[in-house]
Structure 1
Amino acid sequence: MELIAIAVLCVAVASVIGGATGFGTSLIATPLMLMAGIGLAETVVVNLVVALVTRVGVTVQLRDHIDWRRVSILGLASAPGAWMGVQTVNLLPEEHLKPAAGVITVLCGLAMALPATRTARPPSAVATALTGAISGYFSTTTSLNGPPVVLLLGRARLPPLSFIADLAGYFVITSIVSLALLWSGTEIDLPALVPMIAACTVAGVVANQIGIGIARRLPTHVFRSGVIALVVLAGLLAIVTA
């Protein structure tokens, strides 16, 4: 029960940030949960389920703003990447994957700090598929599947609703694919994680709404700067404590 309570706290903190930014939940939750002593496999599964549940509603609500072709390419391309991630999980011991998750977190935080492009650059189908594959690999190994797609969509300079809608649609697809592959291709005992998953999902949904409320009150640049600093710090701590 104590471990479940810790996981709930980590997910709640991360979901507040995720609700305010449209992404970033896993970026914060992963290093926090690893530092708290929760296993990487459990962390990945919990993050994927929370992402799936919280983004289904967004996908339905903003379905008219989704570029289904782009989301389909991203989702389909994530499958081979996610499969390769499962093979990595089976081959490498967790003590090697944990610091890797920290390094990826730091790099994602630094990438988020890069200035946005001023001219729109719609991604090609090849670039979209490659991004989907990379993101799929990160999904099953560390659950950090958001940043590659965020960077891709950011370069396209989509309208806010389209950006959020495409990202949500992608998260739904890749989370389902990743969970199915982890269930069938690893020794992770998903039924045993049901209590933790259920508690974290409830916390994630509630905290996500709190984050949305906070975002409406804080200047965007202030909140974004704080999120980036927190992401980098969390990643560094995950590396040090791995």
Structure 2
Amino acid sequence: MELIGVAVLCVAVASVIGGATGFGTSLIATPFMLMAGIGLTETVVVNLVVALVTRLGVTYQLRRHIDWPRVAVLGAASLPGAWLGVQTLGLLPEQLLAPAAGAITVLCGLAMALPASRTARPPSRWATAATGAISGYFSTTTSLNGPPVVLLLSRAKLPPLSFIADLAGYFVVTSVLSLAMLWAGTGIDVPGLLPLLAACTVAGVVANQLGISIAQRLPTHVFRSAVIALVVIAGLLTIVTA
């Protein structure tokens, strides 16, 4: 019961940040849940379920801001990546997967901080597909599937609500696919996780709404700076705590 309380606190704090930036729930929750002694696979499942439930509401709320063709390409491309992630779960130790994902997360954050063109450039279909595949792999291995897509969308200089909306649509698709593959391809005890999943999902939904209200008041430049800082810090935390 104490472990569930710690996980709920981690998810609640992370969901406020996730609601405000459109992503980051898994980035923040993962290192702290690992520190609390929750296994990597269990952490991944909890994060994916919370992401699915909270992003469903966001997708509906911000549906007019979503670029549906882009979300469709990202989601479809995540399928082979997610499948590959499940296949490698039994081959690579947790001690290697988490630090590797953390390092790539930091690199994504640093790339986002580099000076970019003043002109917004929508990503090509090939770049979108490649990003979806990479994120799909991270989804089933560590649940840290946000940074590659965040980097892709940040280069397009989307308004905050469009940025959050596209991410939400993508997270809904990839979470469903990833959970289905993890359930079918691993020995995860889903019924045994139900108390943890239920408590964390309720906390995530409530905290996420608070985060969304914050996002609607953030100026674009503040929003971008917060996103970059979040990516880098979360990546470093994942490396240190793995």
Please indicate, yes or no, whether the TM-score normalized by the shorter chain is above 0.5.
Answer: yes
Cα shift at 1:90:
1.8
- 1:190-224, Cα deviation, whole Å (9 max, x unpaired): 12111111111111111112223444566665676
Deviates more, 1:116-125 or 1:132-141: 116-125
Deviates more, 1:60-69 or 1:38-47: 60-69
Structure 1's 216 and 156: CA in aligned 2 closer, same or farther, altered over 3 A? Answer: closer
Cα shift at 1:160:
3.2
Deviates more, 1:210-219 or 1:124-133: 210-219
2:188 partner SS: coil
Aligned 1:108-119 pairs, distance under 5 A: 108-119=108-119
Q: Is the 8 A contact 2:109 2:228 kept in 1?
A: yes
Cα shift at 1:7:
0.7
- Kindly indicate whether residue 202 of structure 2 is the aligned counterpart of residue 188 of structure 1: no
Q: Which residue of 2 aligns with 1:160?
A: 160
Structure 1's 67 and 215: CA in aligned 2 closer, same or farther, altered over 3 A? Answer: closer
What amino acid maps onto 2:67 in structure 1?
D
What amino acid maps onto 1:239 in structure 2?
I
Structure 1's 231 and 10: CA in aligned 2 closer, same or farther, altered over 3 A? Answer: farther
CA RMSD of aligned residues (A): 2.2
What amino acid maps onto 2:153 in structure 1?
L
How many residues end up aligned between the 2 structures? Answer: 242
- Using structure 1 for the length normalisation, give the TM-score: 0.90
- 1:36-93, Cα deviation, whole Å (9 max, x unpaired): 2111101111111111111111111222322221111110100000001111112112
Q: Is the 8 A contact 1:79 1:174 kept in 2?
A: yes
Cα shift at 1:231:
4.8
- Kindly indicate whether residue 65 of structure 2 is the aligned counterpart of residue 57 of structure 1: no
Q: Which residue of 1 aligns with 2:137?
A: 137
Structure 1's 67 and 98: CA in aligned 2 closer, same or farther, altered over 3 A? Answer: closer
Percent identity of equivalent pairs: 83
CA distance in 2, matches of 1:159, 1:218: 11
Aligned 1:18-167 pairs, distance under 5 A: 18-167=18-167
Structure 1's 231 and 66: CA in aligned 2 closer, same or farther, altered over 3 A? Answer: closer
Q: Which runs of 5+ in 2 are unaligned?
A: none
CA distance in 2, matches of 1:5, 1:34: 14
Q: Which runs of 5+ in 1 are unaligned?
A: none
Cα shift at 1:163:
2.1
Structure 1's 108 and 38: CA in aligned 2 closer, same or farther, altered over 3 A? Answer: farther
Structure 1's 170 and 46: CA in aligned 2 closer, same or farther, altered over 3 A? Answer: same
Q: Which residue of 2 aligns with 1:8?
A: 8
CA distance in 1, matches of 2:20, 2:157: 19
Q: Is the 8 A contact 2:109 2:151 kept in 1?
A: no
2:155 partner SS: helix
CA distance in 2, matches of 1:123, 1:234: 25
Structure 1's 223 and 70: CA in aligned 2 closer, same or farther, altered over 3 A? Answer: closer
Q: Is the 8 A contact 1:55 1:172 kept in 2?
A: yes
CA distance in 2, matches of 1:11, 1:209: 13
